[in-house]
Amino acid sequence: MTTVQVLQEQLRHLRMTETANELPVLLRNAETKSWTYQEFMQEILMFEVNRREEKNVEKRLKLARFPYHKTLDEFNIEEQESLSKRQLNQLRELNWLEQQYNIILLGPPGAGKTHIGIGLGVEAIQKGYKVAFSSMGELVHLLKTEEYIRKSQMQLKRIKESDLVIIDDLMYLAMDQREANLFFHLINHLYERSSIILASNKGPEEWVELMGDQGITTAILDRILHRVEVIQLNENDSYRLKHRFM
């Protein structure tokens, strides 16, 4: 084995696999740029740190279970008159997440609620937070099958341990009393532990009709609305339809 190969094996033994693979390139750069020993060591460690963080971000993105990848930079703020660029930038600073505030995104189908929710989730992941995404229909299914399906148990455990939980299509379908009760227990668990983003086409004042239980609805609202920012997206032409063929 060459000296470089020995060094690569030693790096792999130290679980610095990415640096081991990149070592020949780093050595060439050190020679051509006349790095000092200190500069060379700094480059090696910085490379390893950056790659580990990139892999952690990739892992958190996968665990979030987004239906698709969208960023806030891809959102055309000019077509959403009810949300200013300044407001969007304030949201992406994530001060609300640090303070465990919730966000409710209200608006008709296609107004960009899901895009904004996913975009904020991606921002949070890039800053080191654990994020979980679920549609309301999928979430109800997980809650109803948690007792006897291992996969549901694992997914709900991940949701409960997340710093940010994004629930899409909230109140899109009516719930029976058991479903509403299970949902309450989840919200109660997340209360003051995590931030929640809720995307819905119906305002909180309409939720009782779909949950069918005034007491449960009030208990859920008490926890969600304790610290919340409500964002009403306008009812102009559907953002989704405008961008369908782009």
Q: Looking at residues 117-123, what average pLDDT do you find?
A: 96
The answer, yes or no, to whether residue 237 has pLDDT greater than 50, is no
Residue 151 class from Cβ within 10 Å (0-12 exposed, 13-18 middle, 19+ buried)?
A: exposed
Contact indicator for 82, 31 with CB cutoff of 8 Å = no
d(CA 90, CA 84): 10
pTM, rounded to two decimals: 0.84
d(CA 172, CA 174): 7
The Cα angle at residue 206 between residues 225 and 92, in degrees rounded to 5 = 45
Instruction: Please tell me the predicted confidence (pLDDT) of residue 240.
Output: 41
Give the model's confidence band at 110: pLDDT under 50 very low, under 70 low, under 90 confident, else very high. confident
Identity of the residue numbered 133: F
Q: Looking at residues 122-134, what average pLDDT do you find?
A: 96
pLDDT in tens, 10-38: 999 999 988 999 999 999 999 999 999 99
> What DSSP letter does each residue of 60-98 carry, written as one string?
HHHHHT-SS---GGGS-GGG-TTS-HHHHHHHHTTHHHH
Residue 175 class from Cβ within 10 Å (0-12 exposed, 13-18 middle, 19+ buried)?
A: buried
pLDDT in tens, 54-77: 999 999 999 999 999 999 999 888
Q: Alpha carbon 195 to chain centroid distance?
A: 11
Contact indicator for 56, 44 with CB cutoff of 8 Å = no
Instruction: Please tell me the predicted confidence (pLDDT) of residue 202.
Output: 86
Instruction: Please tell me the predicted confidence (pLDDT) of residue 239.
Output: 41
